[in-house]
Chain A
Amino acid sequence: MSDTNTTHAVHARRRTLPSAIGEPMVWLTGGALVVCLLMIVMLVLLVVVNGSKTFWPRAIDQVTLSDGEVFLGIATEHERVAETGAMRTLYRVGNRDIGQESFRWIDDEQVTSVETPDDAVMLEREAWGVWFGVPESIVRVHAGEEDTVLAHGSGDVLESYEALHHDARKTKSRIEQLKKVELGSINSEIDTLRLNIREAEIESARGDDGLIRLGWVLWFVFAGLLLGCMGVVYRCRDMGTELGASNARQGELIRTSGVIAAVMLVLAMWIAGPWKGQVVNEAQLETMRADAANSEAALLIEYDEVIAQIREIEDQDHELRLIIVEPTSGRFAPVSQTLGDEPMYVSQVVRLVQANTLSTAGKLGVFFSRWWEYLSTNPREANTEGGVFPVIVGTVILTLLLTIFVTPMGVIAALYLREYAKQGFLTSLIRIAVNNLAGVPSIVYGVFGLGFFCYTVGGYVDTGASESARMSAAGWWGMFVLAGVLLMAGFATKLWSKPNPGKLPSSFNVWMQRGAWLVWATVLVLVVMLVTRMPYFYGFFEARAQDGTPTFGARGMLWAALTLALLTLPVVIVATEEAIAAVPNSMREGSYGCGASKWQTMRRIVLPGAMPGILTGAILAMARGAGEVAPLMLVGAVKLNQDLPISTEAPFIHADQSFMHLGFHIFDLGFQSPDSQAARPLVWTTTLLFLAIVFALNFAAIMIRSRLRAKMAGPTV
């Protein structure tokens, strides 16, 4: 001690070393931050700029080439050819139906003149992409008679087009509505009828093989045994006291056993209730078939009526033709490739843009109408045109579903891990495992989801256990009884594993504890076996599965949401655990001091206190899940499915359907599109939209959290 004192006195402090000077570090760290920020800003900026210019209407050029060819098109790119050094331009020329590529590279030296004629228009059509041309006339076609010309010449055509087009589109959407709603409902009713018959046939073929009666007998045996057990427990409740238990413990045991018994009885009734034993006989089946045939005949008549109605409207609609002529060949835009010599219907036009005469306001109008179309309609032309409405809905519903699944699952797991589990080696091991789960490549989850959720669980939901896995009824009921008894035994051993108040756990307690875990594990295995090998359950959608159209046994929204929930589970568990750990112990003590039980403390103090943290976890999970694409490719995202995952028909959320997803849509546009040039701007736009949606979802969640926070906490937390 005294030595140190003397050396201290002798040593003078040195001058400040050069390495102690901190300014370079300020610059270095600040610079690193700026670089990071700059990259993020650039990324967002690139997406926003490229994404938002897609829908801006651009001038239509009339290009005359040196060989005399004249064409209309929109210049989209201008670049230098690497080999020759000459400049060339990429024109969007459309008019695919006359057999040309919709994009053309033109060397600048070939071009003699470029004009922007006022009467050039760009047609956005329902099919076959865009058409460039000059409006000539609008005609009304009468069968067997001379056509009436309603308007002639560019100016006239455009004038009368507005009103005519509005009505024609209305008629068109009425036809779509009839087809989708009326025909759709008739079709689904016919389907249901056929499926009902099919189900009845399958059931009658299976017959009543006595299994169910045997099950009933065994169920009564089980119930008797159960009551006997309860009686024995009641008579021998003094026995426990000798073992170091108490009356309170006995009471708890009998209460819990009563609950288990009641639940098991209800379960058994539900599984093998007498009302389940009714099998359709041949005569009943015949009546059913006859009824179904009658209903089907009636439905078919109705179907024909609707079809006739549609035909009538369509015929009227098809009278109105728009003739837009292409300058080079003088050909007009046809109805379709097979009807190349007939001018197109007015109702086939989505939008007519006279780009060269548009004022800025007009351009803005086109811009926003395109955005609205993009956000609110179904995709057309292999996703390169039209909107992304089903894609948005699919993405949002999937994200919400996954959040709904993952949050309670993660919170419950974290609660057990932090509040109930004894902290030790095992819990740290589980924590490490959970953290590692977050590092598993997401495609692995996709493979797991496809194999486990789609095929195994989904298959079970559809058709029940496979034939080879079905147990005999006697064996199954035996296992059922065993599971019930073990469950009670589990509770009993758990109760006796608690030491008496103020005493350290004896070796008896410790062994009881280990025994309880063993019993729980056995019960868990038994329950899994009971479910997977159940002889009574033939699935909810057996008839459909036998027809080759599995309902849940295929890729779908539900399984995709569950897969993503699994993927994001570690995020929620970790965040919740941290939030729970951050609730001060003084709060818990205060609650216990008021006479609250552990569960009451958790529900009223710990969980509300941890709620902002839990929501943070949910938000992080949502953000992670919303951006995940790889597993979705395996478990449910598809290129095209215009049926929305939600509807006004029961069950409102159609979780068994495959769905469209923005992430997958971007991939599809970028790499799987037949017209990649046309799809490229949409890649940016879709990316922008995806960013906006993920941001909006997060923002909404953050708003909810901050409102909750303001409600729960005072100003001085």
Chain B
Amino acid sequence: MTNEIDSTHTADSTQPIIRSVAYTPSGGADQAYEVIDAIRRGENPVPTVHPEVVNAESVIDIEGFKLWYSETQAIHDISMKIPRGAVTALIGPSGCGKSTLLRSINRMNDLVDGVRVEGGISLNGSPIYAPSVDVISLRKRLGMVFQKPNPFPMSIFENVVYPLRIDGERRKEVLEEACEKSLRSAAIWDEVKDRLKKSALGLSGGQQQRVCIARAIVADPEVLLLDEPCSALDPVATLKIEELISQISERYTVLIVTHNMQQAARVSDFTSFMYLGRIVEYGPTATLFQTPALIETEHYVSGRFG
């Protein structure tokens, strides 16, 4: 986590060709990166937010949110609304704070020593960082899927019903029904229905990740948080997960962090481009990818800057 923060601006190692572009201080005479340069100088430029997002009904409201890891500030005064019932993607180069922002929503950052926040986030109107909030019941309202598939070392069935188990649900028929429904939603029912009692660790990476998604949605979360869910998977598995995200977005609000611009373009309805803990541009995905307001966004989504 700290590494990500310290490396304030490094090019993605998987895209070495872009490196030379990334280190150019500014885009040259015809392409001045005004906003990015301002952010690099430590200024606080106003993010470009498209009206579609402002007008949409929001499920998560982030208001002037700032976050520090000890002395290092990782998020600088972010305000954004996550529209209800849509897929919102957070994109940006490594260390831009998109994962941190995602993990702030279910307060996973509480587990890190020395984290301090200012400002507020509210989920369906109820504040997340108020002193009276019970962090356990907050996390029960959200589902989360991590970068690396992390099924527990138990059977597939037990993995999926884990959130219900910890709520003390013991009735077998309830658990079985929830498990099947959830696995079907995660588009993996047909693959695992005959081996529900087998260990989940015996599945392939992509299957494991879909079991994790099934686990995240089994208790009907208000928002599903996906933290680079495909970064550890092969292209075929990635494609399946992407299809799955499109499917479940019909029923859940999804917030997804991704490194992969194509993925953001394919699965999301809204995209927020972040840079060094600030939002640069935030709007409908189609607009952002085809006619962005800023030259930085255009260059970033087309891979010329990163």
Contacts and interface: CB of A to CB of B under 8 A. Distances in A.
A247 B152 contact: no
A597 B136 contact: yes
Given A248-B133, A596-B166, A590 B212 contact: yes
A604 B152 CA distance: 9
B130 interface: yes
Interface stretch (A297-305, A499-507, A630-638, A651-659): A499-507
Given A501-B129, A502-B129, A715-B199, A595 B108 contact: no
Contact of A504 (B114, B131, B150, B163): B114
B235 interface: no
A36 B110 CA distance: 52
Interface in B141-196: 142-144, 146, 148, 150-154, 162-163, 165-167
A82 B160 CA distance: 81
A716 interface: yes
Interface in A237-263: 241, 244-249
Contacts of A593: 106, 108, 139, 142-144, 146, 216
B153 A589 contact: no
B215 interface: yes
Given A600-B166, A605-B152, A608-B153, A592 B129 contact: no
A714 B132 contact: no
A501 B198 CA distance: 39
A203 B137 CA distance: 56
A245 B163 CA distance: 29
Contact of B163 (A241, A594, A712): A594
Contact of A604 (B115, B142, B166, B219): B166
Contacts of A163: none
A714 B130 CA distance: 41
A329 interface: no
A587 B146 CA distance: 10
A361 interface: no
B134 interface: yes
A501 B130 contact: yes
A609 B166 contact: no
Nearest to A422: B113
B115 A502 contact: yes
A669 B139 CA distance: 66
B241 interface: no
Nearest to B147: A586
Interface string A567-595: 00000000000000000101101111111
Contacts of B199: 712-715
A308 B38 CA distance: 111
A608 B142 CA distance: 25
B50 interface: no
Contacts of B144: 593-594
Given A589-B111, A713-B153, A501 B135 contact: yes
B237 to A, nearest CB: 15
A717 interface: yes
Contact of B140 (A245, A595, A713): A595
Contact of B137 (A245, A503, A595, A609): A595
A714 B139 contact: no
B146 A716 contact: no
Contacts of B212: 590
Contact of B154 (A246, A249, A586, A608): A608
Q: Which of B116, B153, B199, B215 has the most CB of A within 10 A?
A: B153
B202 interface: yes
By size class, the interface of chain B is: 35 or more
A394 B152 CA distance: 42
Contacts of B131: 241, 244-246, 248-249, 500-501
Contacts of A713: 153, 199, 201
Contact of B133 (A241, A501, A589, A596): A501
B200 A594 contact: no
A601 to B, nearest CB: 9
B132 A246 contact: yes
Contacts of B134: 248
Contacts of B135: 501
Given A248-B132, A501-B133, A586-B148, A712 B140 contact: no
A593 B143 CA distance: 7
Contacts of A502: 107, 110, 115-118, 129
Contacts of A241: 131
Nearest to B141: A595
Contacts of A600: 166
A715 B201 CA distance: 7
A10 B131 CA distance: 68
Given A593-B139, A593-B216, A587 B201 contact: no
Contacts of B129: 501-502
Nearest to A710: B199
Contacts of B106: 593
Nearest to B107: A501
- Between A503, A591, A595, A600, the greatest number of chain B beta carbons within 10 A of the residue's beta carbon is seen for A595
B255 to A, nearest CB: 13
A593 B144 CA distance: 6
Contact of B111 (A244, A503, A592, A715): A592
A589 B163 contact: no
Interface of A: 241, 244-249, 500-504, 584, 586-587, 589-597, 600, 604-605, 608-609, 712-717
29 contacts: A241-B131, A244-B131, A246-B131, A248-B132, A501-B107, A501-B131, A501-B135, A502-B107, A502-B110, A502-B118, A584-B150, A587-B152, A593-B106, A593-B143, A593-B216, A594-B139, A594-B140, A594-B144, A594-B166, A594-B216, A596-B166, A597-B166, A605-B152, A608-B154, A609-B153, A712-B199, A713-B199, A714-B200, A715-B201
Given A246-B131, A594-B140, A712-B199, 15 more contacts: A246-B132, A248-B132, A500-B131, A501-B129, A502-B115, A502-B118, A503-B116, A504-B116, A586-B146, A590-B150, A594-B216, A595-B137, A595-B219, A597-B166, A608-B153
| Top 8 closest pairs, chain A to chain B, by CB | A714-B199, A714-B201, A502-B117, A595-B140, A246-B131, A593-B144, A714-B202, A586-B150
